[in-house]
Amino acid sequence: MSIIIESDLCTGCGQCLEVCLFDALELVGDKVAVKDGCNLCGACVAVCEYGALSLPEDETPALSRPSHGIWIFAEQRRGRLSPVALELLGEGRRLAEALKIPLAAVLLGHQVRDLVPELMAAGADTVYLVDHPSLAQFLEEPYAAALTALARLHPPEIILAGATYVGRAFIPRVAAVLDTGLTADCTAFDIDPEKNLLLQTRPAFGGNIMATILTPRSYPQMATVRPRVMKKLPPDNGRQGNIIEIDLADLSRPFRSRFLETVSEITETVPLGEAEVIVAGGRGLQEAKQFRLLEELADLLGGAVGATRAAVDAGWISYQHQIGQTGKTVAPKLYIACGISGAAQHLVGMQSSDYIIAINQDPQAPIFQIADLGLVGNVFDILPALIQQIKANR
Amino acid sequence: MKIIVCVKQVPETQDVRLDPVTHNLLREGVKSIINPFDLYALEEGLRIREQQGGTVTVLTMGPPQAEAALREALTYGADQGILLSDRAFAGADTWATAFTLAAAVRKLGGADVIFCGKQAIDGDTAQVGPELAAFLDIPQVAWARKLTFVGPERLQVERLLDHGYDLVEVQLPALITVVKEINEPRLPSFKAKLKAKAATIPVYSLSDLGLTENQVGLKGSFTRVVRVFPPPARGQREILQGAPEELAAALWGRLQQMHLR
Amino acid sequence: MDYLLTEEQTMLQELALQVAQERIKPVRAELDEKEIFPRDLMREMAQADLFGVIIPEEYGGLGLGCLESCLVLEAIGSACVGVGTTFAATFLGAYPYLLYGSEEQKNRYLPVLARGEQLAAFALTESQAGSDAGAIQTTAIRDGDSYVLNGTKQWITNAGEASIYTIIALTDRTKGPRGASAFIVEATDPGISFGKKEHKMGIRASATAEVILQDCRIPADRLIGKEGLGFIIALRTLDYARPGVGSLALGLAQGALEEAVLFARERQQFGQAIISFQAIQHMLANMATNLEAARALVYAVARYIDQKPREFSKEGAMAKLFPTDMAMQVTTDAVQVLGGHGYMREYPVEKMMRDAKILQIFEGTNQILRNIIGQALNKEYTKKR
């Protein structure tokens, strides 16, 4: 299945080759031809001035929409909700209103009923509660079994989950078994008003390009969502909702994996994810010991130290500090980027920060494109001067 | 012990950009490599083989050129490589990819352990491993950083979660996705390089796997890319140049405005 | 330059360069600074089959020749000559039994060396016997089915780290150099011990110490070849090893040249990159030209040795003399191109300059090598008359 080419109309101008993300077009003689790998994204159709390209007609019949609304997975651990659960309810509320359908939270765990009011206050119309000893600790098998069974019982139109380690570990199992698509790590959603479909946007190609993805021929439409990107609603304790508690017989079967113990908790002085100020360093710091400057400044500002993949790969600082596509996503009030060029892989992890200050020697560095305040200069000169100023003024 | 390692061939750098004005794709000539995370999966497979005996089979789906990734895997000491390649497989999303891989695993008679890297650096989805485990109906442990055999068919796995590390026990056959901390991948060996050069790489096509066109590739995929665009730039920016002391003073002023100390 | 390497040679070279770039380069400064013996790196190089290069296939090696070993040593030397020396010392230790050993000796020692499970060392030098190797005092006295060794070997690379030592000792004091014999001594043999690790100017990752033999009793079948062959074996071993030292020098100079060119392209003075100044260009041009000349010489000699000529002492000496003098000059010039930066430990070229010096000293000082070449010339013209 691929793009349809009207060879008579094709002038061989090559415009379409330039825009094909999948490198699926080639010129054969003076006409364009499709190779393997066409994803039907339609980018070429849009640029063809001669109308030589078109998308094949959608031959799948429209499915009827399931009736149980939008679900968000309310991730919790030991009776505490993960912040992403509330963020998903905030975003879910917006989407539910656009689609005029209800919003539900799915709460899986053991002895977690207390969390129901918090979910309702955060925007849930309904809470599906599965309370079972098998769900006391996270394991892929029982969690996937529970969510799959629920979705078969009360088919939803959309399922959103946090793109946390937990969410990304088990949600794909659910999508596989439900025969439906899943988009990873989304950073924005919208609704296609004609088809009432969820437009799922995520960074692609290492984060240098954003891609919008549809799940056009199956329900539920599923996505995991990057934490700290969506906004939660102010809690409304007056909100009312239904609680539907479900006893799944399936959970009493023996599972082939079992939880033994938590070996170690990640401890950070100020956890990166929760820091209001982050001072981050990149390749421009040149060596491990320069991170001490950053630590000193972060301490003075009550913040945490972050780093780019380049700095982590160079061994200057541990992976726990990595921010970006393959590290953490952060959204502090203030982000100070020191010696960071601004590779897209890093930007996706910090561009939701409220205020970004960048210090870099190269005025052309891409980091300046997204910085609110950019300082062109040497980090090793500017930071000590700043540290001195702060100390002098305390 | 029958060990299967799934790998993906990816472009070495992710430096694919869109021209912000024309939206044309700026593609730089980059070479293809094995997804770096998959090398940790392969290393773990090789270590388990050294401990427990058995064979390591490396599996990839891709165009004919993806054979190079398998040959590279052989230079590290894998026993065989198998390429899943067919025009019909093109354009697959994670569901269709995992579905195809599952058919290949079944054709190979299953495995005791399947290893995958935690995610691929081009797609960053981390979905194919768990989806493959679901299709094979085997348990899975994602984000493993340490494995210990506690019986012939039982593994204890230390794995990374959001709060720290959990220890879980899993019954084989199982699928494990690994993070970088799990090991230090070895270097190729010269003898294995010689062998890899001469090795035959079997290719499984759609019909070899007994699948139909509607189950694989773009047709078998449930997701569609409908639009691509460059990441949005931010609003009003202010760029200052000058002596370090002046810049530090400006910065200090801004921090004070923000009521940060 | 294309030296018309075979596909197999290119594969081996690429593998060794991968080891150098990915494993050695990131740690070389620390190994140097803290004088850490590169045990882990030796394990990795073994895993990559690099220890097997010169060992025949029937003993588990790759069965390759002098040129291949030179390609590997050049690659390793481009990252760190200290690591390269540690690695090369095993070749030096192995040549005696590889060339003159009994089938039993080969079977016992070559496979473990090929797998890199153990390291080897070669012990000739003593406190009074450096360039004058004939002045050694260590003795080996036959006693029934054993030999008993006494004496102290000085500045032995891998001493204390290696498991297998080739020791040159006198079995007959009255015969002078003709009374020397070569023995294999294992680190677990009774009576062998090691002095303290020396602190060196360069190649600080390598371990250098005394090997002390006090009534060290070994089975008589550890004698390599026959009694009295000791010096012939030692000199032949050095003939084979010298292009390897030259190769370490090639790698070292290549590394220094690259640092110098990259720095000169980046460094701005008087408003432009310093590489745009002719003074710098001429230095770099001389460095590159001498390096290439040395490489052509080393490869040519290595290929010649691989033809199994009867005599190649002169060529072997040339293949160490010229490249090591070249490496000293190139690394010194690299420091000069980097200027003050080059003198700082933050940059790798000062280490390279320190490492270069030993190459002119060990495995035959460059003065002794000139003697060898000069004497060979004299001999050749005597014959011709």
Model confidence pLDDT, tens digit, residues B68-120 = 999 999 999 999 999 999 999 998 999 999 999 999 999 999 999 999 999 99
Least confident of B157-161, C292-296, C323-327: B157-161
C236, part of any domain:
yes
Q: Which of the residues A36, A202, A346 would you substitute to probe the B interface, choosing the one with the greatest number of B C-beta atoms within 10 Å?
A: A36
Look up residue B234 and give its amino acid: R
Chains near A with 3+ CB pairs less than 8 A apart are B
With a CB cutoff of 8 Å and minimum separation 6, the contacts of A209 are A21, A203, B16, B17, B18, B228, B229, B230, B231
Q: Is B203 helix (H, G, I), strand (E, B) or coil?
A: strand
pLDDT in the model for residue B155: 96
Query: Tokens 């690379």 map to which residue?
Result: C157
pLDDT at position A266: 63
Name the minimum distance, in Å, from the CA of C88 to any CA of chain B: 18
A77 in the same domain as A49: no
Answer yes or no: do A129 and A19 share one domain: no
How far CA C140 is from CA of A150, B87, B238, C163, in Å, comes to: 85, 74, 82, 20
3-state helix/strand/coil string of C130-155:
CCCHHHCCCEEEEECCEEEEEEEEEE
Q: How far is C106 from chain B (nearest CA, A)?
A: 21
Q: Which of residues 187-226 of B touch C (CB under 8 A)?
A: 187-191, 193-194, 197
Q: Please indicate whether, in this complex, the C-beta atoms of B188 and C48 are within 8 angstroms of each other.
A: yes
- pLDDT of C187 higher than 60: yes
Q: How far apart are the first and last CA of chain A?
A: 67
How close are the terminal C-alpha atoms of chain B, in Å?
61
Q: What is the pLDDT of residue B239?
A: 85
Question: Do C82 and C29 lie in a common domain?
Answer: yes
Answer yes or no: do A377 and B241 touch at CB < 8 A: yes
Strand partners, A160: A72, A223
Is there a contact between A151 and A106 (Cβ–Cβ < 8 Å)?
Answer: no
Q: Which two tokens stand for residue C19?
A: 């080891």
- Interchain proximity A175–B238, CB inside 8 Å: no
* Interface contact A177-B230, CB threshold 8 A: no
- Mean pLDDT, to the nearest integer, of C84-97? 96
Look at residue A206 in the predicted model and tell me its pLDDT: 60
Chain B hits for A213, Cβ within 8 Å: 223-226
Of C184, C210, C228, the position where a domain reaches its end is C228
Residues of C in contact with B191 (CB under 8 A): 49, 62
C310 and C357 together in one domain = yes
pLDDT at A37 over 80: no
A198: left (phi over 0), alpha (psi -120 to 50) or beta: beta
* pLDDT attached to residue A17: 84
Instruction: Say which residues have a Cβ less than 8 Å from residue C92's Cβ, sequence separation at least 6.
Output: C120, C121, C122, C157, C237, C241, C363
Mean of per-residue pLDDT scores for chain C: 96
Q: Same structural domain for residues A117 and A245?
A: yes
Reference A296, options A288, A304, A287; nearest CA is A304
Rounded to whole angstroms, how far apart are CA atoms A15 and A47? 7
Closest CA to C305 of C237, C371, C366: C237
Answer whether residue B166 shows pLDDT above 60.
yes
Q: Which two tokens stand for residue A292?
A: 């001490």
Q: What is the CATH number of the domain that holds A369?
A: 3.40.50.1220
Q: Are residues A79 and A225 in the same domain?
A: yes
Chain B neighbors (3+ CB pairs < 8 Å): A, C
Residues C134, C105 within the same domain: no
Say whether pLDDT at A221 is over 60.
yes
| pLDDT band at residue B21 under the 50/70/90 scheme | low
The span from the CA of C348 to the CA of C317, in Å, is 29
CATH of domain B2-220: 3.40.50.620
Rg (CA), chain A: 24
A262 occurs within a structural domain: no
pLDDT of residue C385: 65
Residue A251: other Cβ atoms inside 10 A: 20
Question: Residue B77: phi, psi to the nearest 5?
Answer: 115, 10
Helix (H) or strand (E) holding C168: strand C164-170
Question: What residue segments make up the domains of chain B, in order of their start?
Answer: 2-220
In a domain, C364, yes or no: yes
Whether residues C60 and C132 share a domain: the answer is no
Compare CB distances from B188 to C15, C23, C52 and report the shortest one's residue: C15
Least confident of A186-195, A299-308, B38-47: A299-308
B142 touches B107 (CB < 8 A): no
Residues A240 and A132 in one domain: yes
Q: Does the structure's ipTM exceed the value 0.95?
A: no
Q: Output helix, strand, coil percentages for chain A, rounded to the nearest 5.
A: 30, 25, 40
What helix, strand, coil percent values describe chain B, rounded to 5? 35, 30, 35
The verdict on residue A199 lying in a domain is yes
Burial class from Cβ neighbours inside 10 Å (0-12, 13-18, 19+) for residue A31 reads middle
Q: Say if A328 falls within a structural domain.
A: yes
Helix H or strand E segment including A94: helix A83-99
Do the beta carbons of residue A370 and residue B233 sit within 8 Å? Answer: yes
Q: How many angstroms separate the CA atoms of B218 and A179, rounded?
A: 14
pLDDT at B23 over 80: no
Q: Classify residue A343: in a domain, yes or no.
A: yes
B117 three-state secondary structure: strand
Triad B55, B56, B61: Cα angle to 5°:
140
Indicate the range of A236-240, A310-314, C218-222, C286-290 predicted with least confidence. A310-314
The set of residues, in sequence order, having a beta carbon less than 8 Å from that of C384 and lying 6+ positions away, is none
Residues C54 and C133 occupy one common structural domain: no
For residues A380 and A350, state if they share a domain: yes
Cα gap B170→A255, rounded to integer Å: 9
Residue among A210, A213, A344 whose CB faces B223 most closely: A213
Three-state secondary-structure class, residue B89: helix
Given the residues C74, C161, C350, C363, the one annotated as active site? C363
Using one digit for the tens of pLDDT, what is the confidence trace for C343-356?
A: 998 789 999 999 99
Q: What is the spatial distance between Cα C7 and Cα C9, in angstroms, rounded to a whole number?
A: 5
Domain boundary among the residues C100, C118, C136 is at C118
The vertex-C48 CA angle with C316 and B49, nearest 5°, equals 160
pLDDT digits (tens, 9 = 90+) for B78-88: 999 999 999 99
What's the residue count for chain A? 394
Confidence of residue B177 (pLDDT cuts 50, 70, 90): very high
The domain tally of chain A equals 3
DSSP state of C20: I
| Inter-chain touch B190–C12, beta carbons under 8 Å | yes
Please compute, for residue B205, the number of CA atoms within 13 A of its CA located in the half-sphere on the CB side: 4
Residue C219 has pLDDT above 90, yes or no: yes
Asked if the model's pLDDT at residue B260 lies above 70, the reply is no
> Considering CB atoms only, which of A144, A326, A333 is closest to B134?
A144
CB A139 within 8 A of CB A257: yes
Lowest-pLDDT range of B29-38, B89-98, C127-136, C321-330: B29-38
Residue C46: name the closest of B39, B187, B196, B195 by CA.
B187
From CA A307, how far away is CA A309, in angstroms rounded? 7
Q: Taking CA atoms, what residue in A is nearest to B168?
A: A259
3-class secondary structure, A350: helix
C12 in contact with B, Cβ within 8 Å: yes
- Residue C2 placed within a domain: no
* B 175-194 residues inside an 8 A Cβ radius of C: 186-191, 193-194
- Domain enclosing residue C163, as ranges: 121-228
| Domain count of the fold of chain C | 3
Taking CB atoms and an 8 Å limit, are B251 and A40 in contact across chains?
no
Of C8, C47, C62, the CB nearest to B187: C47
Average pLDDT over residues A118-129: 97
Distances from the Cα of A45 to the Cαs of A16, A19, A20, B19, B116, in angstroms?
Answer: 8, 10, 10, 18, 36
Phi, psi of C365 (to 5 degrees): -60, 160
* pLDDT of A16 over the 90 cut: no
Amino acid identity, residue C323? P
Distance CA A11, CA A21 (A): 21
In this structure, the answer to whether residues A279 and A304 fall within a common structural domain is yes
Q: Give dist(CA A136, CA A148) in Å, integer.
A: 18
pLDDT number for residue A61: 59
In a domain, A63, yes or no: no
Q: Report residue A351's pLDDT band, with 50, 70 and 90 as the boundaries.
A: confident
Structure tokens of A148? Answer: 């799959």
The answer to whether residue C255 is domain-embedded is yes
Question: Is A23 a member of any domain?
Answer: yes
Instruction: State the nearest Cα–Cα gap between C22 and chain B, in angstroms.
Output: 9
For residues C220 and C235, membership in a common domain is answered with no
Which domain, by its residues, includes A19? 4-54
pLDDT value at residue C232: 95
**Is the dihedral angle over the CA atoms C373, C377, C378, C383 positive or is it negative?**
positive
CATH number of the CATH domain containing A112 = 3.40.50.620
Question: Do C18 and C105 reside in the same domain of the chain?
Answer: yes
In the predicted structure, residue A383 carries a pLDDT above the cut 60: yes
Task: Say if CB C325 and CB C287 are below 8 A apart.
Answer: no
DSSP state of A288: G
Task: Please check the confidence at residue B261 and state whether its pLDDT lies above 50.
Answer: no
Q: Which residues of A111-125 are buried (b: 16+ CB within 10 A; e: fewer)?
A: ebeebbbbbbbbbbb
The pLDDT of residue A238 is above 70: yes
**pLDDT for the residue A59:** 56
pTM summary value: 0.83
- Residue C33: give its domain's CATH number: 1.10.540.10
- Is residue A205 located within the same domain as residue A105? yes
Whether residue A132 sits in one domain with residue A87? yes
Among the three residues C70, C103, C118, which one is the final residue of a domain in this structure?
C118
Q: Could you report the per-residue pLDDT of B193-242, keeping only the tens digit for each?
A: 999 999 999 999 999 999 999 999 999 999 998 888 876 665 567 888 88
Q: What is the CA radius of gyration of chain C?
A: 21
Contact state of B190 with C52 under an 8 Å Cβ cutoff:
yes
User: Per DSSP, what are the bridge partners of residue A76?
Assistant: A81
Here the tokens at position A104 are 């539900």
* Residues ≥6 apart with Cβ < 8 Å to C272: none
Among C122, C346, C342, C362, which Cα is nearest to C249's? C362
In angstroms, the CA C319 to CA C316 distance is: 5
* A99 and A157 Cβ atoms separated by less than 8 Å: yes
Q: What sign for the dihedral angle of Cα C368, C372, C373, C378?
A: positive
When the pLDDT of each residue in chain B is averaged and rounded to a whole number, the result is 90
Q: What is the DSSP letter of C298?
A: H
- Respond yes or no: is residue C363 known to be catalytic: yes
Does C133 share its domain with C110?
no
Residue pair B139/B153 in contact (Cβ under 8 Å)? The answer is no
> For the domain that residue A15 is a member of, what is the CATH number?
3.30.70.20
Which residues, numbered 32 to 91 in chain C, qualify as contacts with chain B under a Cβ-Cβ cut-off of 8 Å? 44, 47-50, 52, 62
- Residue C260 has a pLDDT of 97
Are residue C267 and residue C372 in the same domain, yes or no? yes
Q: Which of C12, C15, C47 sits opposite B186 (nearest CB)?
A: C47
Name the residue facing B18 among A23, A209, A394 (closest C-beta): A209
